[in-house]
Structure 1
Amino acid sequence: MPILHLVLILFATFIHVSPKESNDILVYTVATDQTNGFDRYLHSANEFNIQPQILGLGYEWRGGQVKTHPGGGFKFNLLKKALEEHKASNKLILFTDSYDVIFLGKMDELIRRFKQTGAKILFGAEPFCWPDPKLADQYPEATEGKRFLNSGMFIGYAPEIYKLLTRDEIQDTDDDQLYCTKAYLDQQFRDEAQIKLDHKSEIFQNLNGVSAEIEIATRQEKEGEGELYYVRNTLTRTEPLVVHGNGAAKYTLNYLSNYVPNVWNSVDGCKQCKKGAINLGTVATKDFPSVLISVFIEQSTPFLEEMLQKVYFLDYPKERVHIFIHNSVKYHIGIVKDFVEKYSNDYASFKQITPEDGTPEWTARDLSLDHCLAKKCDVYFSLDAIAHIDNPYTLKLLIEQNRTVVAPMLTRPGKAWSNFWGALTKDGFYSRSNDYMDIVHNEKRGLWNVPFISNAYIINATLLRKHDRTVLNYTKPNLDADMAFCSILRDLDVFMYVSNRLEFGHLINSDTFDITRTEPDMYQIFENERDWEDRYINEEYPENFNPEKKDAQPCPDVYWFPIVSKRFNEALIHMMESYGKWSSGKNEDDRLNGGYEAVPTRDIHMNQVGWERHWLHFLQKYVRPLQEKVFTGYYHDPPKSLMNFVVRYRPDEQPELRPHHDSSTYTINIALNQRGLDYEGGGCRFIRYNCSVVDTKPGWLLMHPGRLTHFHEGLRVTKGTRYIMIAFVDP
């Protein structure tokens, strides 16, 4: 048996403890299936040593489609049978639903509050007369709180509750709330059974229609310990002990359950995260859960090459990993092909769907679920091309969390854009939860039950085996694939968690990625700065600011710094050669104001290839700190530069440059290719100092003062082609 399945079964066995009766009260609930909500219910009960008796577990549900239609009489028939042996006792009976209920307080306090009401049966109250609104006028007026009965939670003495349940016949598919409503509206029976409603939610809080009245509050109970979160009804100023996320309010309950009961505080953080978790460190590699990693490339995406590399470098035994790639973008065929040719044999299996196949995203995602089952995988890991998994332990960590569906939190660096929603609007679209900004900026870390995840998540394959593609799929009218899938998961009452317990990675912003450009990734310096730096900034650049490192100075006041990578050099040369409109090298230059260049070169300006704005940002962010370091006392932020261009030297075009002063406060010169390999000769001679720099290093920047002091010339290139990037800064 796969280790993941074994652990889940053991965990389920652990939470199904044998119920015990106290002297005062019996707690009952109905659950025919062990859902995520049922597990949450049991955990909340366990927090207060409440041991409910579970009715119907393992039975087929016969109470109708209660999510969309009246029904639920099956619950009462199960409860009626269970109470037959107690109908003459004086025990208290507490009944609640299970999938959408949590306990928030101790049983002795609940009993105390109930007895204060003087009722023999106490129901929770809500603002809606459901399922028959025509009965609303028959209800007694409520001076405060909610007027109408809700049958999802009630407490009372066994004889009275048994009389209520046997007052009339109720079919399994009849509506339990309508049954109780009719009993309550029968004034004679109401008086005899002493039935009351908890109008102010002093014990029972039904959330449907009142979510705006509910808040999470905190109190400090013990000095030095974390604060205690509790639920407060701001309208009635009460602190309920049992909360019911009935109707459309189940997402509010999910939000509350991220904090209560005793789930999270600012000192201990996530107190429930380790419950049910597994440890792969004790598992032999051959017994690791089998994983299908599905990569979806549905739009042109910058830095895809790095994204795929990070998939490969996930710290997980590759013989336990199957790969599925759906690429619908022709532009990315080459990158995917390189990845497949280089790494496909390292995995247990490899399947790809290419753009030529014409498979829509929705279909491809459904196929990947079935492919997981065909490979008998234990875990399904979905990754979109914009999801960069920077932490190589992510897959292990998510599996060890041992939840049905869990996503690593990913954000656009420095932004509030993430791969989850904290709340939903009434029509199922994005809404911001109260704690969204705290979570997305990691001011709160934990494991969060949320209504929507995307871009990266794992699914326990037991869920895929439970529901075939007619039920669990990525297709729903008028919704994109992720929204459809999450909507279906919500309908199935499957919890979706997002974890920010650790840093896992980040999201790429592909909104402005323009594949009509040559080297489109080079233009992503604003939208995806982190990834741009990783690819294009020299890995030695941070060492420039090491106070123990002496700056290279090949000539007086001429400084030498590593600044850009080989990929940058190659990309910039490619951009220029693809554009191809090199200047003539003559004094006449219609690109300039006045049309005259005193010291002409064969060059292409940055603004000709649409990279002027990007280059000026480069000057400010990466060059200016170097200038301020070596030319102390000169500050100009942002630096200005009107002349930014790549020069091409060739023996048969322009092999050299005559002596001249630059029209700048300082000049930078970046070598873009390798002397001795790509060209021979070349370099720069500073005439006043009779000092030359000839063995220039690709990706290294020469920085020197401009006008007045550093009269210089470009030395002759004798063979090949030399490329340099020039900027005259602060002319």
Structure 2
Amino acid sequence: HENESSSSTFAFGFLILLIILIPIFSLHSSHPSLENLLVLTVATEQTDGFERFMRTAKEFNYTVKVLGLGKEWKGGDVARTVGGGQKVRWLKKELQKYKDRPELVILFVDSYDVIFASSPRELLWKFSRMGHRVVFSAEAFCWPNQKLSSKYPAVKNGKRFLNSGGFIGYAPDIIGIIQQWKQKDNDDDQLFYTNIYLDKVQRDDTGRGRVRVRNVAYDTLPIIIHGNGPTKLQLNYLGNYIPTAWTHDSGCGICDDDLFYLGDVPLPIVQVGVFIEQPTPFLEEFLERLVSQSYPTDRLRLFIHNNEVHHEPHIQRFWDRHRRRFPNARIVGPEENLEQAQARTMAVELCREDPTCDYYFSIDADVVLENPDTLRILIEENKQVIAPMLSRHGKLWSNFWGALSPEGFYARSEDYIDIVQGKRVGVWNVPYITQVYLIRGMTLRTRLAQIGLFSQQGQDPDMAFCRIVRDQGIFMFVSNRDVFGHLVSTSSYNISRLHPDMWQIFDNPMDWKEKYIHENYTKIFEDDKNTVEQPCPDVYWFPVLSDRMCDELVETMESYGQWSGGGHKDKRLAGGYENVPTVDIHMNQIDFEKEWLKFLKQYVAPVTEKLYPGYYTEARAVMNFVVRYRPNEQPLLRPHHDSSTFTINIALNNKGKDYQGGGCRFLRYDCRVESPRKGWSFLHPGRLTHYHEGLPTTQGTRYIAVSFVDP
């Protein structure tokens, strides 16, 4: 597609070699004649460049009027700095002669560094085909004020920034621009034109830009576009833009049309279908988000299909907490042995057969809805079928396809990446949506009343659903007007582990952080004086792990159970000898070292670099382990240095509740920290200065996680 808006259409021309031109004002339909072309240039000296310019002009029969020849140049050293305003002043004076020539086309070009490559006839033909009243040449650099670059409209192809060395347009429009010059001779001409171009009122005298489609086979701009049969999907794609649905200048031009605003009247009743079809990380958090939507639960009807035995305890805990909110909920477990298509049909039927059901909202367990207004937003968009746009963190994998292959599978549309990355924002008609979507209840009871939505031979339920909806001529939309959340990855989820979410720091880093990093961790970088404590010289104390992470790490270690004996001989070490032994389990014994090192690099290293300015760490650590202290096992640790540049020591349980005693003493300073806080870490130098000991645990069991960093 092409955009007729003056700010976002960029066409190719032969003004100056093969340059790309920026259209300023549109439109002019007549074809200018050769007699109505005036070529102007400025030259104070007949340099070699000027002679070359005139030679090429003569070869193509251009008639050039030269301004300033033999006069003193007062426009500054434009080869080195800003300047060139004298050219505009001369133009302003000269153009007064042509103010009554509306049919006249004026071409202005520099002369010292310009050659003609084709005829006036081709120049005028290409200018008229561009359909704009003024066209400037373009370049790759925003000169002379780079701060203005963000104000330029985006372009898909070619150069983006205005160049004052060449422009063409109709006399009234060129004169209208030039007459605004009131600066000095040594002021910058390019900045002058740039400021006019960036003034949208002047740039776009047609109001809102329109998008056109070009027929590349015949190189025409159709007035009517007919998309029948298999071309309907392409027509849907074009309809996302034509004529003013979306433009680079204005963004979405129709997104606020026909919205359905939810007022104070009773909200629509929504049947929610939840589908847990595979082992999915962070399921408990997913379930809690269902009740955190800013939508009253008395207007929701809940259906849950769980196909995984692993998730039965999670659902039971959720149900125990929230059963009163959903008195009519229906939960179907793995014992029912339902196929996915059957389960989805069962949920849809609950809405289809209930005349009070206004909407059906389908959501899969790998959807993270961080926006609590998602349901309200989708309802207010007032579409028959609509999905919120979601993608995996840092990936292009999303819950929609912008196009289909001839076989009906995924194909990448031209705008897919821009939509996923939020560079184009709107409500998009697409051929495929999955994982989360809203359907109007009336649509289920009318146009989709007698149709099985999820069963087609040889197709998965999501493919079948989209195919059936498309075949009924119902548009499916995806909205990225708001940030709704993201998708979690399930590919590496290993439910053979006791707490498999702990291993998701690589595949699902945002969810891992939310669950396992202390809620006050980010305050370290906002207000370290009130968040980070220094109980002893160069010993820092800060929050890093959540209670949940502490508990699950301890439970994982106890489930593994192979605690060391606390003796000096240790076959786990390269030398087989531990100088200061503890009763511990190494992270690599539970296959967690890679994840722990990622944690150190992502969350401990930034704190270290903030608290010890000038020291930069790669967070390398060979010794990463959980220590267990018990009065009858190993209650304390004798004075020692750590084999590290710095050490972290994270308390994994609560003093006074889980154990008595414990703590750490730094002998050089005779400084004790006797009340460790769960989830908080000590950070202190390991060698030379911070000789320390572990104080006796007198009752219960104390757990700490330790890493010797940068050994």
Please give the TM-score of this superposition, normalised by the length of structure 1.
Answer: 0.69
2:252 to 270, 273, 297: 270
2:234 to 252, 266, 270: 252
CA distance in 1, matches of 2:360, 2:218: 46
Q: CA deviation at 1:488?
A: 0.8
Deviations 1:604-623 (A, max 9, x none): 00000111000111111100
CA distance in 2, matches of 1:565, 1:672: 9
Assess if the C-alpha contact under 8 Å between 1:217 and 1:231 holds in 2.
no
Aligned to 1:499: 479
Q: CA deviation at 1:569?
A: 0.3
2:603 to 622, 628, 643: 622
Matched, 1:407 2:387: yes
Greater mean deviation of Cα atoms: 265-274 or 542-551: 542-551
AA aligned to 1:248 is: P
Counterparts in 2 of 1:112-511, with a 5 A limit?
223=203, 227-281=209-263, 283-285=264-266, 288-347=267-326, 349-376=328-355, 377-467=357-447, 471-511=451-491
1:633 to 597, 609, 614: 614
Q: CA deviation at 1:227?
A: 4.2
Q: CA deviation at 1:467?
A: 4.8
Q: Tell me the secondary structure at the aligned position of residue 643 of structure 1.
A: strand
Deviations 1:573-624 (A, max 9, x none): 0110010000010011110101111111000000001110001111111000
Matched, 1:726 2:706: yes
Aligned to 1:137: none
Assess if the C-alpha contact under 8 Å between 2:209 and 2:250 holds in 1.
no
TM-align CA RMSD: 2.1
CA distance in 2, matches of 1:364, 1:687: 65
Q: Tell me the secondary structure at the aligned position of residue 457 of structure 2.
A: coil
CA distance in 2, matches of 1:330, 1:626: 40
> Does the C-alpha gap of structure 1 residues 415 and 454 become closer, same or farther in structure 2, counting only changes over 3 Å?
same
Counterparts in 2 of 1:61-76, with a 5 A limit?
none
Assess if the C-alpha contact under 8 Å between 1:263 and 1:271 holds in 2.
yes
CA distance in 2, matches of 1:365, 1:330: 19
CA distance in 1, matches of 2:676, 2:262: 51
Deviations 1:268-303 (A, max 9, x none): 32111222211102x412xx2110010000001011
AA aligned to 1:253 is: L
Assess if the C-alpha contact under 8 Å between 2:308 and 2:334 holds in 1.
yes
Aligned length: 516
CA distance in 2, matches of 1:597, 1:348: 59
CA distance in 2, matches of 1:327, 1:469: 26
Q: CA deviation at 1:668?
A: 0.4
Assess if the C-alpha contact under 8 Å between 2:209 and 2:244 holds in 1.
no
Matched, 1:565 2:557: no
CA distance in 2, matches of 1:499, 1:547: 37
Q: CA deviation at 1:318?
A: 1.7
Matched, 1:584 2:584: no
CA distance in 1, matches of 2:236, 2:201: 25
Assess if the C-alpha contact under 8 Å between 2:600 and 2:619 holds in 1.
yes
Deviations 1:91-127 (A, max 9, x none): xxxxxxxxxxxxxxxxxx99x9xxxxxxxxxxxxxxx
Q: CA deviation at 1:486?
A: 0.5
Q: CA deviation at 1:217?
A: 10
> Does the C-alpha gap of structure 1 residues 548 and 677 become closer, same or farther in structure 2, counting only changes over 3 Å?
closer
> Does the C-alpha gap of structure 1 residues 226 and 719 become closer, same or farther in structure 2, counting only changes over 3 Å?
farther
Deviations 1:178-197 (A, max 9, x none): xxxxxxxxxxxxxxxxxxxx
AA aligned to 1:688 is: R
Aligned to 1:187: none
CA distance in 1, matches of 2:528, 2:695: 33
AA aligned to 2:295 is: Y
Q: Tell me the secondary structure at the aligned position of residue 639 of structure 1.
A: coil
Aligned to 1:698: 678
Q: Tell me the secondary structure at the aligned position of residue 375 of structure 1.
A: coil
Q: CA deviation at 1:226?
A: 5.5
CA distance in 2, matches of 1:482, 1:657: 59
Q: CA deviation at 1:344?
A: 2.6
Aligned to 1:81: none
Q: Tell me the secondary structure at the aligned position of residue 319 of structure 2.
A: helix
Deviations 1:605-658 (A, max 9, x none): 00001110001111111000111111111112x221000000000011111111
Aligned to 1:525: 505
Assess if the C-alpha contact under 8 Å between 2:447 and 2:472 holds in 1.
no
Q: CA deviation at 1:666?
A: 0.4
The percentage of counterpart residues that share the same residue type is 49
> Does the C-alpha gap of structure 1 residues 465 and 498 become closer, same or farther in structure 2, counting only changes over 3 Å?
same
Q: Tell me the secondary structure at the aligned position of residue 342 of structure 1.
A: helix
Q: Tell me the secondary structure at the aligned position of residue 510 of structure 2.
A: helix
Q: Tell me the secondary structure at the aligned position of residue 445 of structure 2.
A: helix
Q: CA deviation at 1:345?
A: 2.0
CA distance in 1, matches of 2:697, 2:353: 62
Assess if the C-alpha contact under 8 Å between 2:534 and 2:540 holds in 1.
yes
AA aligned to 1:369 is: V
Deviating above 4 A after TM superposition, structure 1's stretches of 4 or more consecutive aligned residues are 216-222, 224-227, 467-470
CA distance in 1, matches of 2:525, 2:484: 28
CA distance in 1, matches of 2:484, 2:225: 33
Q: CA deviation at 1:472?
A: 3.4
Q: CA deviation at 1:316?
A: 1.2
CA distance in 1, matches of 2:623, 2:639: 18
Matched, 1:556 2:537: yes
CA distance in 1, matches of 2:433, 2:238: 18
Assess if the C-alpha contact under 8 Å between 1:318 and 1:348 holds in 2.
no
AA aligned to 1:594 is: G
Assess if the C-alpha contact under 8 Å between 1:543 and 1:549 holds in 2.
no
AA aligned to 1:273 is: C
> Does the C-alpha gap of structure 1 residues 547 and 352 become closer, same or farther in structure 2, counting only changes over 3 Å?
closer
Q: CA deviation at 1:221?
A: 10
Q: Tell me the secondary structure at the aligned position of residue 583 of structure 1.
A: coil
Assess if the C-alpha contact under 8 Å between 1:662 and 1:707 holds in 2.
yes
Q: CA deviation at 1:222?
A: 6.4
Q: Tell me the secondary structure at the aligned position of residue 489 of structure 1.
A: helix
CA distance in 2, matches of 1:266, 1:615: 45
Q: CA deviation at 1:425?
A: 0.1
CA distance in 2, matches of 1:246, 1:472: 25
> Does the C-alpha gap of structure 1 residues 221 and 247 become closer, same or farther in structure 2, counting only changes over 3 Å?
farther
Q: Tell me the secondary structure at the aligned position of residue 349 of structure 1.
A: coil
Q: Tell me the secondary structure at the aligned position of residue 555 of structure 2.
A: helix
> Does the C-alpha gap of structure 1 residues 493 and 384 become closer, same or farther in structure 2, counting only changes over 3 Å?
same
AA aligned to 1:301 is: T
Counterparts in 2 of 1:638-657, with a 5 A limit?
638-657=618-637
CA distance in 2, matches of 1:711, 1:549: 26
CA distance in 2, matches of 1:698, 1:710: 22
Matched, 1:658 2:638: yes
Structure 2: any 5+ residue segments left out of the alignment? 1-27, 31-155, 161-199
